[in-house]
Amino acid sequence: MYGWRHLVGLVFVTISLYPILFVLTNSFADFPNLANSKLIPNGFTLKHYQSLSESDLIPYFRWLFNTYKIAGIAGFLNVLLGTFAAFAFARLQFKGRRVGLITLVLIQMFPAFLAFVAIYLLFFQIGDVAPFIGLGTHFGLIMVYLGGSIGFNSWLIKGFMDTIPMSLDEAAKVDGATDSQIFFRIVAPLARPILVVLFVISFIGIYSDYILAAIFLKDTNLYTVALGINIVFMDDFSNEWGSIAAASVIAATPIAVLFIFFQKQITGGLTAGSIKG
């Protein structure tokens, strides 16, 4: 009676796994180009992985380090600043609080693509005054990532903080605690599940971003993995398919492990703040 459900599930699992297995097996395949690739190759080799580590023209592992650095710093600051904003909106009473919340919602309505030209011109001009934060720098790119996620993160964290009883704050104030002490010693530790979830989501999103990195970074040594694979390897896509597959496997493996490891926390953290109580 319920066999069709298993059949539908099997079909979707197959559709999802096929491209992953195709890239994985082709990263070890001993074939000359894309035209000869198939799911189960005739021979296996490690030459594509070796080419990534031995090539002087393609600094792949430098790109990998750049990606970890940008995603790690931007993810951490995204969560930190979002937590500060969420605490202010959830626990503090100040003039303009409601207007600020509505403004965050309205900003999220506009696609990020609308700001790309403005961002390019803005950081191009900033580079004349402060080159370390201008166009073509990692620090500038991190600043752009911060501006695009704080609003969304603040709303999610605020929803979680609303579930933390205000009586804890009141009891702490009776004992003489300040707002900063309440934040660091009570609210932030209790909100740790949603903070971990948002860091993982932010890290994964920034790790795989291509468009902003392509706009910002021009020096090959400053590329991220997504940008480097697309620009450098795509010049000779058909003949470099094995190296592209190997580079994709190396880049995707840490993200897959991270997502699997935090799967329960991601599901629980996103739903925990959906109901106030």
pLDDT tens sequence across 118-138: 888 888 888 888 888 888 899
Query: What helix, strand, coil percent values describe the chain, rounded to 5?
Result: 80, 0, 20
> What pLDDT is attached to residue 178?
86
Encoding tokens for residue 160? 């979680």
- 56 three-state secondary structure: coil
Distance CA 85, CA 91 (A): 10
Residue pair 206/79 in contact by the 8 Å Cβ criterion: no
* Residue range 174-183: mean pLDDT, rounded: 87
- Region of residue 176 (left: phi > 0; alpha: psi -120 to 50; beta: else): left
Q: Report helix, strand or coil for 136.
A: coil
pLDDT at res. 74: 93
Share of the chain above pLDDT 70, in %: 88
What does the pLDDT look like over 242-260, one tens digit per residue?
788 888 888 888 888 887 8
Residues contacting residue 247 through CB under 8 Å, at least 6 positions apart: 52, 60, 225, 229, 233
User: Which pLDDT score, from 0 to 100, does residue 236 have?
Assistant: 58
Q: Which residues contact 121 (CB under 8 A, 6 or more apart)?
A: none
- What pTM value is reported for the model? 0.84
Confidence check: pLDDT of 1 > 70: no
In the structure, what pLDDT confidence band is assigned to residue 277 with cuts at 50, 70 and 90?
Answer: very low
pLDDT tens across 72-111, in order?
999 999 999 989 988 988 888 888 878 888 887 777 777 6
pLDDT at residue 175 is higher than 70: yes
Minimum mean pLDDT among 2-16, 34-48, 249-263: which range? Answer: 34-48
Binned at pLDDT 50, 70 and 90, residue 69 comes out as very high
pLDDT of residue 110: 72
| pLDDT on residue 102 | 81
State the DSSP string of 5-28.
HHHHHHHHHHHHHHHHHHHHHHHS
> Which residues make Cβ contacts (< 8 Å) with residue 52, sequence separation at least 6?
58, 60, 61, 243, 246, 247, 250
Per-residue pLDDT of 135-153, as tens digits, reads 889 999 998 888 777 777 8
Chain-wide mean pLDDT for the chain? 82
Residues 235-243: what's their mean pLDDT? 67
Close Cβ partners of 208 (under 8 Å, ≥ 6 residues apart): 226, 255
Helix (H, G, I), strand (E, B) or coil at 178: coil
Second-level CATH architecture of 61-272? Orthogonal Bundle (1.10)
Res 70: pLDDT: 94
Q: What is the pLDDT of residue 150?
A: 77
Distant-in-sequence, close-in-space partners of 264: CB < 8 Å, separation ≥ 6: none
153 vs 81: CA distance, rounded Å:
9
Question: According to the model, what pLDDT value does residue 11 have?
Answer: 85
Stretch(es) of the chain classified as CATH 1.10.3720.10: 61-272
Q: Which value, in Å, is the radius of gyration of the alpha carbons in the chain?
A: 23
Backbone angles phi and psi of 177, in degrees to 5: -75, 145
Dihedral sign for Cα 242, 34, 211, 270, please. Answer: negative
Band of the pLDDT at 276, cuts 50, 70, 90? Answer: very low
